[in-house]
Amino acid sequence: MSWSGKIIGGVIGGFAGGPIGAAAGAFIGNLFDSEERLPEQKEEEELSPEQLRVVSIVMLLVKLSCIDNDFSVEERVHLKVFFKETLGLEEDFDDLVKMALEDEEPFEKWAQVFVSTTEEDPSLRITMMHALFELAAADNILHPAEEYFMTTVAGLFGLSDLEYEAIKNEYFLCNDEYYKILGCTPESSNAEVKACYMQKVKEMHPDKLPAGLPAEIIKFAQEKFDEIQTAYNVIRQERNF
């Protein structure tokens, strides 16, 4: 497989200049000096470890978005926003996605490539897990295929179960918390979950608030209502009803 020097160069520049400093960009900023230029086409085996690291990052992000073989319009929008706002990339988005979708290698291979390029600083693997979870959390639901992807990558990265759960819990509440938001338990039947949800909606819907309330109260009510919607959607997804 050949890689476009323009695309890889754009990735490097985007990571270095974008706002990702607190996330994955911490290890991208100084990959190349100002005199180095990539050729227009370069075979994978000819790429430097630093270049391979950048390619593996892009591959993992895109492959996560289409892990269920359904790269929907919504997922594409989420990924584009992520590339633009988190990675500082936008201009080459379509080319990057096309490159990753046409790649026939499994995501496990790219996780292993990333590991091989971070041997001197394994902590970067935790940083990358944060970047992946940030993308997965775009719709507030960790789908089964996404969780399989995450646990597999975490294992290849050498993360312990405790490390994985700690990162996951920063982006997703544990199931018990979602049930608490609705006022039910994991033992509740589907009908009971639905009834609790409807009751919470009735109690907390912003449209039910009296007129003239301060903006702070209206904002608080909207946030609580959004929590209820998220909790119900997560539980409904898991129970498949």
The pLDDT of residue 202: 86
The pLDDT of residue 117: 86
Note the pTM of the prediction, 2 decimals. 0.60
Residues 11 and 59 in one domain: yes
Residues 113 and 27 in one domain: yes
Q: What are phi and psi of 2, to 5 degrees?
A: -105, 150
Q: How many structural domains does the chain have?
A: 2
Measured CA to CA, the distance from residue 206 to residue 116 in angstroms comes to 51
The pLDDT of residue 230: 86
Residues 125 and 187 in one domain: no
Sign, CA dihedral 118-145-170-24, equals positive
Residues 20 and 75 in one domain: yes
Q: Domain limits at 185?
A: 175-239
The pLDDT of residue 111: 95
The pLDDT of residue 87: 60
The pLDDT of residue 46: 63
CA distances 28 to 88, 98, 102, 153, 230, Å, are: 12, 22, 25, 20, 34
The pLDDT of residue 40: 39
Looking at 140, 171, 202, the residue that finishes a domain is 171
Measured CA to CA, the distance from residue 68 to residue 197 in angstroms comes to 28
For residue 42, list its beta bridge partners: 3
The pLDDT of residue 47: 66
Residues of the chain with pLDDT under 50: 1-44
Measured CA to CA, the distance from residue 28 to residue 24 in angstroms comes to 7
Contact 84, 90 (CB under 8 A): yes
